[in-house]
A and B are shown apart, each in its own frame.
Chain A
């Protein structure tokens, strides 16, 4: 069964303490891997799309990388305002020979950055 697994479920960091979040996937025909940030009471906010192994994207203190089996979201010198749940999602071939449009999400990693 196709799966997206995120780890850890929760992560507490001191301000300035860099770390990484992991997203592993077991889908066939990956069309894109997406990272979203979700604040309490809000909808997911788009961060990055990665398409192929070796690709990297950066935005402020965040850098996303992709391998054939997993993606990492690296957070460098985090600040309290980086506290949120980070969701990983994949778009992949669901029907043989056809394109895909659904996003399959992981359960997310809840990040807390303590001042």
Chain B
């Protein structure tokens, strides 16, 4: 596809339920990020993949959050035992090159998944 695709667009989960959010990055993009955006705030970094390797997960708020990118393309962000404070928009972004070695490349974002925990 032409851009980063995320699904589902909206997810409503009952507190305690597990959810899985999917990201299809732009084909061939090496770097993939997950960001969390609360209402009225800027996006906040969660985790970074270079191909299939998760190089940084320092932004994941708790051990209930888990991300994977097993074949270096599609990525899934999983949240276990969801809590109300997990309600936010989860944004995926990709970049053509490895950002470890080249910081010039901008990130291309998907339209996000809006998660509401009731």
Contact = CB atoms under 8 A, between A and B. Distances in A.
Nearest to B95: A101
Contacts of B93: 43
Contacts of A107: 40-42
Contacts of A102: 45, 48, 56, 59
Interface residues of A, number: 26
B104 A32 contact: yes
A31 interface: yes
B4 A43 contact: yes
Contact of A101 (B43, B44, B48, B110): B48
B77 interface: no
B103 A42 contact: no
B110 A32 contact: no
A101 B99 contact: yes
A108 B103 contact: no
A91 B56 contact: no
B112 A108 contact: no
B91 A43 contact: yes
B42 A42 contact: no
A46 B105 CA distance: 11
B111 A106 contact: no
Contacts of A44: 43, 91, 109
Interface of A: 4, 31-32, 34, 36, 41-46, 49, 51, 87, 89, 91, 99-108
20 contacts: A4-B42, A31-B103, A34-B107, A41-B111, A42-B111, A42-B112, A43-B4, A43-B93, A43-B109, A51-B104, A87-B42, A87-B43, A100-B103, A101-B31, A101-B48, A101-B103, A102-B45, A102-B48, A103-B45, A106-B42
Interface of B: 4, 31, 40-45, 48, 56, 59, 91, 93, 99-101, 103-104, 106-112
Given A101-B56, A102-B56, 18 more contacts: A32-B103, A34-B106, A42-B112, A43-B110, A43-B112, A44-B43, A46-B106, A49-B104, A51-B104, A89-B42, A91-B103, A99-B99, A101-B48, A101-B100, A102-B48, A102-B59, A103-B43, A106-B42
Nearest 9 interchain pairs by C-beta: A105-B42, A43-B109, A101-B99, A31-B103, A46-B106, A43-B111, A102-B45, A44-B109, A107-B42
